[in-house]
Amino acid sequence: GEFNTEECGYDGGDCIPKSYTDCKGVIPNLIQDGKCHGGNYNTKECGYDGGDCIQFNEDFPNCNAHSPFRVGDGICDGGEFNTEE
């Protein structure tokens, strides 16, 4: 949101996960919640979503889906999810 920006100090530090201080632009309670989130979450700085994305990254190394937790969830989502990668 408007507060979770560099200019606002990532909501005065409230939006920086304590375990991953270089992880920016995320909602901390989504880190290590059992779901692999894409974008800023699935980065080295964020511990690959606190470890949630490690298996996904191994299984689908070329898949850059915005919501990786939807891949293989039993529902054909189509679009960015319906590719060979």
Average pLDDT, the chain: 90
CA–CA separation, 13 and 71 (whole Å): 32
What pLDDT was estimated at residue 36?
96
- Render the burial of 42-64: b for 16+ CB within 10 Å, e for the rest: bbeebbbbbebbeebeeebeebe
What pLDDT was estimated at residue 78?
74
Say if CB 33 and CB 22 are below 8 A apart: no
pLDDT confidence band for 82 (50 / 70 / 90) = low
pLDDT digits (tens, 9 = 90+) for 22-54: 999 999 999 999 999 999 999 999 999 999 999
CA–CA separation, 50 and 33 (whole Å): 8
Strands (E), 2-50: none
Q: Where are the alpha helices (DSSP H) in 1-85?
A: 9-12, 47-50, 54-59
Q: Which of 10-14, 65-69, 72-76, 80-84 has the lowest mean pLDDT?
A: 80-84
